[in-house]
Amino acid sequence: MQISSICHPMMPDSYFPVPYSKPDGVNGDLLIDIGSGPTIYQLLSACESFKEIIATDYIDQNLQELEKWLKKEPGAFSWSLVMTYVCELEGNRAKGPEKEEKLRRAIKQVLKCDVTQSRPLGAVSLPLADCLLSTLCLDAACPDLPAYHSALRNLSSLLKPGGYLVIIDALESSYYMIGEQRFSSLCLRQEEVKAAVREAGYTIKQFEVIPQSYSSTRANNKGLFFLVGQKLRSSE
């Protein structure tokens, strides 16, 4: 069976095994990536299991970078090395260029997203997603734990009952660095994350902690977590 994964280019020795390829696993018609940033690494395996992907972010510059990559514009970041690495994890190193084009075809829209709003995508009308993916986003977007709870409830409005929520984020990180700029991060503990996800109407199917951390010049986290939750149906 193909191994589907999310790898983090800042931590090449870590990857998160998402059960995309299982018949009863995380797959379907539509995946919405919440807080994509200017990156596409988190979608490289997802494009094998979802017909359509929507990338979103709050920052306009990030949306512009995504559009630049999609349209193959001059100056677009090259993800070729990451493509090769992910294909190697999946068992076919030679398929990098093919996967890159497949992902471009799968990404149908790049949209503005604000997780603090009850309608995170504003007035845009979309079918309910089969999966929501959020990678290293919510700890930066939410200033406190009540805001984190609220964001998860807001995002749930985008997901169909029985659909999946996949979150990868830092544990117990109060800051992160981009160049010389320091940004605040919500310090999340395992039990706080689990409680917030359950309160938002999900059952937790998988929760793993990766002990590897960033260097102190990048962040002060104590590992990363990987969560798969399933949205409860009304009868559950």
Q: Would the annotation count 156 as a binding residue?
A: no
Is 115 annotated to bind a ligand? Reply is yes
Q: Are 93 and 87 in contact (CB under 8 A)?
A: yes
Is 92 assigned a ligand-binding role in the annotation? no
Is 144 marked as binding a ligand? Answer: no
- In eight-state DSSP terms, residue 74 is T
* 41 in a labelled binding site: yes
Rounded CA separation 128/160 (Å):
5
Six-digit token string for 208: 């793993």
- Flag whether 154 is marked binding: no
Element (H, E) at 228: strand 224-231
Which DSSP category does 204 fall into? Answer: E
Q: Is 148 annotated as a binding residue?
A: no
CA–CA dist 230, 69 (Å, integer): 31
Provide the b/e sequence for 172-196 (b: ≥16 CB within 10 Å): bbeebeeeeeeeebbbbeeebbbeb
Annotated binding site: 35-36, 41, 57, 62, 114-115
Q: Which residues define the annotated binding site for S-adenosyl-L-methionine? A: 35-36, 41, 57, 62, 114-115
